[in-house]
Amino acid sequence: MNINIQPTLENDNVLLYPLQEKDFDVLFAAASDPKIWEQHPNKDRWKKEVFKIFFDGALQSKGAFKIVDKTTGETIGSTRIYDYNEEENSIFIGYTFYATAYWGKGINRLVKATMLNYIFQFVSKVYFHIGADNIRSQIAIRRLGAEKIAEQEVNYFGEAPKLNYLYEINKSKWEAFSFINSKF
């Protein structure tokens, strides 16, 4: 199946644009707060030289997005779709972060719902790698109906491997969940 893992996506609040090389400065401005990275596997991504490695990996994935607030035009974070597995009919969503000003406002829920609604047109399962210490993201992904199914070391682009929890949500569970929670 031919899946475009980097389309332009949107909901009422945000636009997800395919990440481009020219987006480095605006995305780094959103990422340069150390608080964002406190629970992520690499806690130094707020430093420009470390973020550059993360950014380069995002570009090479060919599935990364710049997230833009529709009301202000401000770049507020990033996420990506990656590792399509045709045999298993699955894909991953992850590497997500948001500027702290957007925490607790339901943005992550809207972004993930938009991504899931799109990607479930093509696959039956979506996985999420979440850092073992990233409690905020673990809670957020469970609120979307995903379940922890494993623990594994993840090799990050240009970084040391880190322990992650593997979460999963399947298409039928998502459809039932999003019907019940139709505020998306």
pLDDT digits (tens, 9 = 90+) for 51-97: 999 999 999 999 999 999 999 999 999 999 999 999 999 999 999 99
Residue 168's closest CA among 151, 147, 152?
Answer: 147
* Residue whose tokens read 């990506």: 80
Residue 131's closest CA among 101, 103, 170, 95?
Answer: 95
The pLDDT of residue 158: 67
Helix (H) or strand (E) holding 95: strand 90-98
- pLDDT above 70 covers a percentage of the chain that reads 96
Interatomic CA distance for residues 69 and 56, integer angstroms: 23
Confidence of residue 153 (pLDDT cuts 50, 70, 90): confident
pTM: predicted TM-score of the whole model, two decimal places: 0.90
- State the architecture of 9-180 in CATH terms: 3-Layer(aba) Sandwich (3.40)
The pLDDT of residue 154: 75
pLDDT digits (tens, 9 = 90+) for 20-42: 999 999 999 999 999 999 987 78
For residue 60, the tally of other CB atoms under 10 A from its CB is 11
Show the DSSP H helices in 20-170 as ranges. Answer: 24-31, 48-61, 107-119, 135-143
